[in-house]
Amino acid sequence: MHLPFWLVTALLSPILLYQGKRARRNTPRLPDGSGNLRGQYGEGVPIRRILVIGDSTAASVGVASHDMGLASQVAKQIHLRTGQTIAWHTFGINGIRMQALTGELEKARLPPADIVLLSMGVNDTTGLTSRSRFRRQLLALRQLLAPRYQAPLVLLSVPPMHLFTALPSPLRQILGWRARQLNNVYADIARRRPDDFALLQYPLVTDPELLAADGYHPGQRGYQYIAEALTDSERICPAA
């Protein structure tokens, strides 16, 4: 237990509850992206296959269709940089937490993939999932995926919620504190188990021009920006 965090949260709980309810009431709830959950860039048999799983980012919230979302844009960037045929598939559920995602993946028919990216953490942050529970659930998710996907699961860092200016203070600072704690779980587990996990830092998306109408999710330019930054990593786009 991280006692300072829980003490401060308890002390501020009346304010935090009020601000949380107000933020949910005033924030537009955007729909998932529509259209096909998969596609490819280039002709013929794909050289590499990208799968993104997770929360609203994997569900392409903030853009009209999945071909504008993260999985598609990462595949597009790899294709543009290498000239290779790259396939993509996305599986996301808006508002989901780690444990529930594992349950949904148990029932899902997922495609083969060479790179699997996990976009999670915001809902476990707002839901105050404990660090120990978050770690156990992440390990359970990896165990579920391990027979099918041998490469390390690429963890996309928990977004820095202290920079979400659409959130009021002190709610923003408390959620940012919690997000950093969960991201530290990612960092620790990736360091201890490099054969199973790798951590990539999301680029900061604070420019309003990159955000969707709700002020939280990436818009079309935001997903492009994130994909370009992620593709700079050799984990995603190995040098030729």
For 22-74, write each residue's pLDDT tens digit: 988 888 889 999 999 999 999 999 999 999 999 999 999 999 999 999 999 99
CA–CA dist 113, 150 (Å, integer): 9
User: How many whole angstroms separate alpha carbon 136 and alpha carbon 238?
Assistant: 31
- State residue 238's pLDDT score: 82
CA 145 to chain CA mean position, Å: 17
The rounded mean pLDDT for the chain is 93
Q: What is the mean pLDDT of residues 136-142?
A: 98
Over residues 141-197, the pLDDT tens digits come to 999 999 999 999 999 999 888 888 788 999 999 999 999 999 999 999 999 999 999
Structure token digits, residue 130: 């404990």
User: Where does the pLDDT of residue 1 fall: very low under 50, low under 70, confident under 90, or very high at 90 and above?
Assistant: low
Per-residue confidence at 240, pLDDT binned at 50, 70, 90?
A: low
Residue type, 231: T
Pairing of strands 86-92, 38-41: antiparallel
pLDDT computed for residue 202 by the predictor: 82
Average pLDDT value for residue range 71-80: 98
Domains of the chain: 38-231 (3.40.50.1110)
Walk across the sheet containing 153-156 and list its strands.
38-41, 86-92, 48-54, 115-119, 153-156, 197-200
Q: What percent of the chain has pLDDT over 90?
A: 78
Residues 58 and 91: their CA atoms lie apart, in Å, by 6
pLDDT recorded at residue 49: 97
**Position 161, amino acid:** M
Q: Is the pLDDT of residue 118 over 70?
A: yes
